[in-house]
Amino acid sequence: MGLKKVVKYAKGAGVIAYVFFLIFSFLTGFEPGKKIGMNLGYFSIEMFKILPVAFILIGLFEVWVKKETVEKYFGTRAGLKGHVGGILLAGTTVGGLYVAFPVAYSLYNKGADISVIFTYIAASAICRVPMTIFEASFMGINFSIIRFLVSIPLIIASSMLLGKYLKNRNYKIRL
């Protein structure tokens, strides 16, 4: 039996064990398991509220936005402007990483630079406007400003370094 088959069976066994754990928890009243099941249901519903609209918008992006436009603003020649654009785009992305990865895929297909895509993905995890407003209301505006001033340069620098490293090794993303 090959390694791929073993991994496939292990994943399936993990899912089956998880389902049995949830069933066992609800039948026996095991509170931590019931909470895990309730959280799974809540997050699944929230995800299914966001994803259809997000995929429609991504489809419209695929059709309406020209490849030349993406290459101009997010391509290899965009430089720092592309990274800033990636951060601004990430700040307006609703749905977190559920939506960010399909958008990143679409950007890559349209000619965006790999380092800009890394910036977009990282920024979509930490620079979303609703999340920042929520954070500022609890932690204070000074905390949010300091976090941005530290995080954004680190995101850009690490994305540029990773992009350069991958380009030097002639890495190609297989889709």
> For the residues 25-41, what does the mean pLDDT come to?
93
Tokens 């991958």 sit at which residue?
166
Angstrom distance (rounded) from CA 59 to CA 69: 16
pLDDT on residue 175? 65
Task: Grade residue 173 by pLDDT with cuts at 50, 70 and 90.
Answer: confident
Task: Grade residue 26 by pLDDT with cuts at 50, 70 and 90.
Answer: very high
> How high does pLDDT run on average in the chain?
89
Residue 39 has pLDDT above 90, yes or no: yes
pLDDT on residue 97? 81
pLDDT on residue 153? 95
Check if the beta carbon of residue 122 is closer than 8 Å to that of residue 159. Answer: yes
Work out the angle between the directed axes of helices 129-139 and 80-92 (0-180°, nearest 10): 80
pTM: 0.77
Residue 133 has pLDDT above 90, yes or no: no
Number of DSSP helices (H) and strands (E) in the chain, helices first? 8, 0
Angstrom distance (rounded) from CA 131 to CA 91: 9
> For the residues 134-155, what does the mean pLDDT come to?
92
pLDDT on residue 1? 64
Residue 11 has pLDDT above 70, yes or no: yes
Residue 96 has pLDDT above 80, yes or no: no
